Amino acid sequence: MSNVIFNYLLINYLKSFFKVFLFFYSFGLILNLFEEIEFFKDIEVSFFTPLFLTVIFIPGMLINLLPFIIFVSSLKFLVDIRNNKDLLSMKIFGYSNFKIFLILSITSFLIGWIFLFLINPLTSTMSKYYEKTKSDYSKDINHLVTFNNNGLWIKENLDDGYRIITTSKYKNENLNDILIFNLDDDFKLQEKIFSKNANIKKNDWILNDVSIYKLNETEKNIKMKNMSINSIYTHDKIISLFKNFETLSFIDLVLNFKNLINQGYNRIFLEQSLHSMLSMPFFLFIMSSLASILALGTLKRSNNVKFILIGILTCVIIYYLKDLSIALGQTNRISLKLANWIPIISIAIFSLIGVLQINEK
């Protein structure tokens, strides 16, 4: 009988999870589809393009919402088995509240690792394709910033042509080994500028140890100790463009962390993303614990509307607690690593007290 009850809990909890996940996916699909249609309204594409982009964009977004999906799934499942008297039957056969909580929480914990190792690489690949496709259709394609194995590349649209900047080394607010190509409106090369390093804290970049090679003038090679160029990009703006780490999977961050830093990715935000993903299975465990505390306190049948409101309020409070913690980390009040774990530790302390209470009932 014990195995029968265990299988019942596991199978029906997973069913509840998939139903809630599908609901969130469908809701996100509808909302994002309107946004994609608005983006493509002046571009000649079929309806399939915005629909396809929406389909591949939503899974990555749902991974960020997974703790709340788990919470709603756990709460819905526990309220359902309480209202249909299955919970009472389990207790008659010796299943305590603590045992039920443990099965659900460990299952949620394992779901977290499955998503990190199996689902997250797929969603990061889809996010990369989504970003690339959107950039191909973007009206702002004249201005591009990208990192690849060769370093940082920047393309800017100027009044009298174009500028392409490449650098092999990018550290903090400084670029090293810079090569700048100035092109005319017909993309014909006008001059090349070599610089040993440059500070890009402000829009007026300060280049040092400069060599200018002009193609259309008598004096072809000019050397300067330093010079200034104006760019729409600063260090902060470049970093802000790469704060969306949904294109990087958990496996990428673990195996290629040093390579990503060498390519120019910001170490602080890479660490934030890594610890955010690493903490997710533990976050899912705690969210299932919280749902168990709310639902297993009594055997009385209850109004589902009440628990829906409680669930929404709980999710909002936790979301803002996590957002506040990250904000403290980004303003250097606390470390960004700790900022990802503070909400989990706080909820875990509260949940520990609650679990002890429901175990006595």
**The predicted structure's pLDDT at residue 13:** 94
Which sequence spans correspond to the domains of the chain? 2-138+244-359, 144-231
Contact 317, 325 (CB under 8 A): no
- Spatial CA neighbour of 72 closest among 27, 36, 137: 27
CA distances from 51 to 20, 40, 126, 282, 330 (A): 22, 11, 14, 34, 35
Q: How many CB atoms lie within 10 A of CB 220?
A: 11
Pairing of strands 189-199, 221-230: unpaired
If residue 115 lies in a helix (H) or strand (E), which one and from where to where?
none
Number of helical (H) and strand (E) elements in the chain, helices listed first: 13, 7
Pairing of strands 151-158, 161-171: antiparallel
Considering the four listed CATH numbers 1.20.1250.20, 2.60.450.10, 3.20.20.10, 3.40.50.300, the one that applies to the domain covering 144-231 is: 2.60.450.10
DSSP codes joined into one string, 152-207: EEEEEEETTEEEEEEEEEEETTEEEEEEEEEE-TT--EEEEEEEEEEE-SSSEEEE
Cα-to-chain-centroid distance, residue 214: 44
Averaged over successive runs of 10 residues, the pLDDT of the chain (361 residues) comes to: 83 94 93 86 82 90 90 89 82 82 93 93 87 66 58 78 79 80 81 86 86 72 83 74 66 83 70 86 92 78 70 80 80 79 86 73 56
Place of tokens 């999977």: 249
Pairing of strands 189-199, 204-214: antiparallel
Contact 32, 57 (CB under 8 A): yes
**The predicted structure's pLDDT at residue 140:** 45
- Spatial CA neighbour of 188 closest among 161, 218, 226, 158: 161
DSSP codes joined into one string, 60-88: HHHHHTHHHHHHHHHHHHHHHHHHTTHHH
Contact 173, 200 (CB under 8 A): yes
**The predicted structure's pLDDT at residue 243:** 52
**Per-residue tokens: 176:** 């090293």
What is the rounded end-to-end Cα distance, in angstroms, of the chain?
22
**The predicted structure's pLDDT at residue 218:** 58
**Per-residue tokens: 89:** 């039957």
Q: How many CB atoms lie within 10 A of CB 228?
A: 10
CA distance 341 to 18: 27
